[in-house]
Chains A and B, each alone.
Chain A
Amino acid sequence: MSRTHRVIPGLPLTLGYTLFYLSALVLLPLAALALKAGQMSAPEFFRVITDPVVTASLRLTFFASTLAALINAVFGLIVAWSLVRYDFPLRRLFDAVIDFPFALPTAVAGLTFANLFLKDGWLGGFGPRLVEGVNALAGLTGAGPLLPSGALDWLTFPYTGQTGGIVIVLVFVGLPFVVRTVQPVLLEWDPEYEIAARSLGAKPATIFARVIFPEIAPAWVSGVALAFARAVGEYGSVIFIAANIPGRSQIAPLQIVTRLDDFQYAQASAIGVVLLAISLLILLVINGLESFSRRHERTA
């Protein structure tokens, strides 16, 4: 495809406009962050980000994001595999709702999860609510209560206000990334290799581990990295479900907001720089992975 310089009109206009708009609304503001953080001396910067409250928030962010990314790594793979390989009722519906976390405002997600995982919420108090429901149904048919109350009191997930809740919303926001990066690779994969391998007597588990998994691994890793990056920056949904106690249950983005509310701009920008650096690092890793798998493809 040859691109032509002079013939197609509009390069100066569109490129100029693009550069201006990009600089004014993205690059300049980001430069302001770098500048503000740069005004601090190195020890000062170091003192801010090693403040116990800040380190606690960074630790929490990392811990919860890692856990959420790992859960997504496992379940995302299972979901993508099931959607591509197995037929089951409502398969297309389940495929369509994968994108829901992209479309649903984070505040709404946080709100509904916070409500669900309350002590007496549908999922937070899953066991007791189940007993209640079953008994109510039984009552409708005229029979007495089927289950003794308190039978399932051990089956509860009261995560609202706990770290578990943070992990759960982070799983939600990162869910589409793994599925949607692995899925195209699986769709492209030709099962004839498996038929051939099976006919040679290989076990399905062996085929998966030796043949299929290496094929999808690069996409899977980038999907997990994307989910992790998204979780590190997530704010809206988390603050609904977390207890937000400084030094204990504040995530790093919330630390920024708290510092801003106290007019501690330098501190806020220091934490902001750390978060930005992490996301850029992950971006680099993903780009590296992609170019690696492209090279790999060409030599294969």
Chain B
Amino acid sequence: MAGAPIAAKTALGPIKPAPPPHPVARTVLVTLAVSFLTIFILVPLVNVFVQAFAKGLDGYLAVFWPPQPAPEQVLSVVQQRKLAEAAVQAGRTWHAIGLTLSVAAIVVPLNICFGLAAAWATTKFNFRGRALLISLIDLPFSVSPVVAGLVFVLLLGRNGIFGDWATHLTWIDPFSLRWVGFEAGFPLAFERDYSGVIFTPLAIVLASVFVTFPFVARSLTPLMESQGTDEELAALSLGASGWRTFFKITVPNVKWALLYGVILCTARAFGEFGAVSVVSGHVDVNDTMPLRIEKLWNEYNNQAAFTVASVLALLAVFTLVAKAAIEWKAARDLPQNQGHSSQ
């Protein structure tokens, strides 16, 4: 059930008229609710930023850009070593950021394609086993992230079922563009060529695909189901091709739900910890941002851990703002559609 989003149909309206609340009950309940949410959500969120800025703005920025000594400055050996260490740490942090982005850049498009295909198949057609297929698509939400990592180790690890094949697999950095004949490219963070799957970034991609698998499909399915097939049939009867119908009619009709699914998928791809941790082998080069946070924390580098965490926390806040904006947009579009295609 890791992070299963619940349908966005919870938008609060104005308070409905009800019998006057008991004033004591009201005060007690609201106080409890507000304190609970404050302690469990607001304080932890604020704390991320407070700890990240524990050494001020300079300390915050130093996590990414360690201070450079002026050229003429004479440094003691200890100072030099400290600077070198800071540079190494910052390099690892940047690497983690690059790897996180690279993984998301592969995972999210894959799951968008899958989500669109799955939603099309399950909502525009009726076939035997359709209900089963829909529940299978939701399955990854019910699997513990650690188990999600474990299954790939058991499948592709050294003693895994396809272990022999997988450990001899060699593959090149997908961002290097060497696979299409270019030497250069934008090596975000894969950086080199690999052999094997488990304990390489490829395994991180696989584990991330697994845990973010249902997001897009699940946010599209209810909407596409309720929209029926009339508009598609109308387009086809006018001579449009299947692809044209899909891209010009279906996709625009579900664009907000699609965006919502993509945002959730991206947030989860950035933030996944358990599954990725299991297949990463705890090697520095396989650290994504969440794994990097754990390493910094284990090294007692509290402020740096929180600094990296603050970036992810900011993304989470952005996710919520985007969600609210999409709900608002979709709600604004909705009344217009009513009475027009309501069945």
Contact = CB atoms under 8 A, between A and B. Distances in A.
Q: Do any CB atoms of chain A lie under 8 A from CB atoms of chain B in the complex?
A: yes
Interface of A: 1-5, 7-11, 13-15, 17-19, 21-22, 25-30, 32-33, 35-36, 75, 78-79, 81-88, 91-92, 94-109, 111-116, 122-123, 168, 171-172, 175-177, 180-181, 183-184, 187, 190-191, 194-195, 198, 204, 226, 229-230, 232-236, 239-240, 253-254, 256-257, 260, 263, 265, 268-269, 272, 275-276, 279-280, 282-283, 287
A116 B213 CA distance: 33
Contacts of B246: 10
Nearest to B343: A1
Contact of A105 (B147, B228, B316): B316
B167 interface: no
Given A9-B242, A26-B213, A260-B153, A105 B290 contact: yes
Interface in B36-60: 36-37, 39-45, 47-48, 51
A271 to B, nearest CB: 9
Contacts of A176: 6
Contacts of A113: 44
Nearest to A251: B146
A195 B17 CA distance: 9
Contacts of B306: 111-112, 115
A279 B1 contact: yes
B236 interface: yes
B152 A29 contact: yes
B114 interface: yes
A275 B150 CA distance: 12
B271 A276 contact: no
Which of B127, B146, B242 has the largest count of A CB atoms less than 10 A from its CB?
B146
A209 to B, nearest CB: 13
13 contacts: A10-B120, A13-B117, A97-B42, A100-B316, A103-B267, A107-B291, A112-B44, A115-B51, A168-B40, A183-B10, A194-B19, A195-B18, A257-B278
Contacts of B32: 75, 78, 82
A19 B343 CA distance: 31
A235 B12 contact: no
B312 interface: yes
Given A84-B12, A85-B15, A111 B146 contact: no
Given A8-B229, A91-B12, A257-B277, A96 B43 contact: no
B88 interface: no
Interface string B1-45: 111111001101101111101100110011011101101111111
Which of A19, A75, A94, A111 has the largest count of B CB atoms less than 10 A from its CB?
A111
B125 A5 contact: yes
Contacts of A13: 117
